[in-house]
Amino acid sequence: MTIRTAFPHPFHEVHTLWIPLADGRRLAARMWLPDDAENDPVPAIIESIPYRRHDGTILGDAPTHPWWAGHGYAAIRLDIAGSGDSDGVLLDEYLQSEQDDICEALAWIAAQEWCNGNTGMIGISWGGFAALQVAACRPPSLKAIITCCSTDERYNDDVHHMGGCLLNDNISWGSGIFAGLSRWPDPTVVGEGWRETWMERMQETGCPLIDWTSHQRRDDFWKHGSVCEDYSAIEAAVYAVGGWTDGYTNALVRMMEHLPGPKRALVGPWTHVYPHFGTPGAPMGFLQDSLRWWDRWLKGTQNGVESEPKLTLFMQEDLHAHPMDFSISGDWIGEEAWPPQTKSRTFHLGDATLQDSPEQGLSFSHSSPLACGMGGGEWCPRDGGGVGPEFQDDQRADDLMSLCFESPTLGQDIAILGAVEVTLNLAIDRPQGMIAVRLNEVTPDGHSSRVTFGLLNLSHRRSNEQPEPMVPGQAEQVTLRLNDTAYRFRAGNRIRLAISTSYWPMAFPAPEPVTLTLASDGSALSLPVRVGSGVDADLPGFEAPEFAADHPSSEVEPGSSTRTSTHDIGTGAMVLHHAEDTGRTLIEDIGLIVSKQSFETFTIIEGNPTSARTDMVRICSAERGDWKPRTETRLTFACDGDNFQITASLKAFEGDKKIFERTWDKTIPRDHM
């Protein structure tokens, strides 16, 4: 790792760049600009997110954006309307008004004397979504984007649902955005009207989780902002980046199949982070790599980037599941197109075995305890800046609560690339049910690690738009595609297929206990085995990570992270507690101390799926002398057999004085969930 302090282009920082909009609102941005840009205009790279450039993301922005400025770009961190110090009210994620504002901002930036008229967008998560969605609007100046950890499909490949199942990460994110919508601007930036703006935000914003839960099918609500609806709308060059441990990898490789223009993908051994901050796998020199992309498409430099392999992927091996010390090794491979060239290796389901030849007439009956899934970790571990034990655990406990089929000890390595498919001839005894399917690698000492997995709401087996209940007792053949992956099963280990009827707390269970009946006839596991070496030899290689200097800050109080579970043997109640405290950090140049706390509790009682309940608390605080704004938000998501119930509250304080309070209480019918 190298921290650079000298660059080819000296630059300066513009702490607050006001970008005017036609309706009189202003968007607040931070810009790092080469000193000679007014005489020698440069392209602009924009990251547009709602996470507060002034006091929220600056510690992560500082090592990144100035690096691009030092290499001849205007690097701009833009707060979308209604967030940070930008004017307006933010009502939900990915609204058309957000895209319209960004398009207007890009036009203004492109017209400045320091800009050469070419713009690019980059972002991770929300910012990656924004880059794709704005690219689909075709603003004239936007020539290229880098989208990290994002998706082209908002319903089934985002934090909200997986295979039509309702994810608890949806509720966690619902709590996070709920807390973020109501935060204050800084009076040192916006002036005396800060309190009026803060009150307006709290009075007009709502609880987005209520709207999300009102759309349990893949309807127009979710199709908006899903660029998979029309890939041809995107003409800008797209670099899609992510990690196999993140929740968004399916979209990255899928876009390589469908986007019509210049494109490239990088998928490494990481979770929800930029690759130069990479974890749990080793980081790489992403800033140097991104510079080649920007130089090619924003400056016209003929550096050959478009002739290199379209996909650079990390072939994982020796995965070791652990909530905190998750580890992975492997090597980089290259592919020219997606889907890659593979051959199918089929395993048939025997008596607790995976075998080469089909075995007829076997039938298996299974109902998982609701505790199955407690070792699954989070759908998207370490998102939102988390540092705690959020990865999967050793899968043995969940395997014992699942219907498992296991291969013989492998005599040679098997490298898979793409989507594993599982076809099951099954029936359930209720109209509504779910299945979780995991593909694990088991080492000789018995340790079990989840390589890939998939969830399926069985009412969504044919369509996310028109769900159909199962007919109890009637067998159907269902095919489930697990998450795309690149993984090398090692000789001497075994492959385990684990099937369960619950996966709590990752996903909400069906409203009644479900018994699954599975027939061996017509049931199989299909592995996409990689053929040949692709274009591995043509990979350019990566440099070690580089960074710009950190932003001046100091720790006032340390943070902490805990994840604990309890089991009341008498009542059967199982409770998972997750607490994150950022501590108190002083941002030195603005004299502001910031802190955030989150508390998440997931509760379920064995045998009673309608006892599933999620409770969320978020506390956001700032301190500068006597100025001490604070918000406290609470959100509860519960259910019965027919409905979901959402209750929420928002309280705001100045010091110890409560200045605002608002509550929400909504019952929403379950729709095949």
Q: What is the pLDDT of residues 202-232, one digit of tens each?
A: 999 999 999 999 999 999 999 999 999 999 9
| pLDDT in the model for residue 539 | 93
Return d(Cα 354, Cα 352) in angstroms, integer. 7
- The CATH T-level fold of domain 342-530 is Jelly Rolls (2.60.120)
Q: What is the pLDDT of residues 230-265, one digit of tens each?
A: 999 999 999 999 999 999 999 999 999 999 999 999
How confident is residue 200, by pLDDT bands cut at 50, 70 and 90? very high
Element (H, E) at 574: strand 573-581
Token readout for 111 is 């017209």
| pLDDT in the model for residue 383 | 85
| pLDDT in the model for residue 386 | 75
% of the chain exceeding 90 in pLDDT: 98
Q: Strand pairing partners for 29? A: 17, 78
Beta-carbon contacts of 180 under 8 Å, excluding residues fewer than 6 positions away, are 50, 51, 83, 90, 620
Return d(Cα 74, Cα 65) in angstroms, integer. 9
Q: What is the pLDDT of residues 483-514, one digit of tens each?
A: 999 999 999 999 999 999 999 999 999 999 99
- Coil, helix or strand at residue 255: helix
Question: What integer is the mean pLDDT of 87-96?
Answer: 97
CA angle 434, 437, 440 (to 5 degrees): 160
**What is the dihedral sign for C-alpha 296, 302, 307, 313?**
negative
| pLDDT in the model for residue 533 | 84
Return d(Cα 52, Cα 205) in angstroms, integer. 17
Token readout for 355 is 């075998």
In this structure, are residues 588 and 575 in contact, taking their beta carbons and an 8 Å threshold? Answer: no
Return d(Cα 420, Cα 412) in angstroms, integer. 19
217: left (phi over 0), alpha (psi -120 to 50) or beta: beta
CB count in 10 Å sphere of residue 511: 20
Return d(Cα 463, Cα 460) in angstroms, integer. 5
Return d(Cα 621, Cα 618) in angstroms, integer. 10
| pLDDT in the model for residue 382 | 87
Q: Which of 383, 378, 389 is nearest to 450 (CA)?
A: 378
Q: Is the pLDDT of residue 384 over 80?
A: no
Return d(Cα 260, Cα 236) in angstroms, integer. 10
pTM above 0.95, yes or no: yes
Q: What is the pLDDT of residues 135-152, one digit of tens each?
A: 999 999 999 999 999 999
| pLDDT in the model for residue 612 | 98
CA 99 to chain centre: 20
Q: Is 208 exposed, middle or buried (0-12, 13-18, 19+ CB in 10 A)?
A: middle
Q: Is the pLDDT of residue 642 over 90?
A: yes
How confident is residue 1, by pLDDT bands cut at 50, 70 and 90? confident
Q: How high is the mean pLDDT of the chain?
A: 97
Q: What is the pLDDT of residues 279-328, one digit of tens each?
A: 999 999 999 999 999 999 999 999 999 999 999 999 999 999 999 999 99
Token readout for 552 is 């001046």
Q: Strand pairing partners for 28? A: 18
Is the previous residue joined to 339 through a cis bond, with omega within 30 degrees of 0? yes
Return d(Cα 493, Cα 495) in angstroms, integer. 7
Enumerate the domain spans of the chain. Answer: 9-154+224-244, 342-530, 552-669
In this structure, are residues 593 and 554 in contact, taking their beta carbons and an 8 Å threshold? Answer: no
- Coil, helix or strand at residue 197: helix
Report the CATH number of the 9-154+224-244 domain.
Answer: 3.40.50.1820
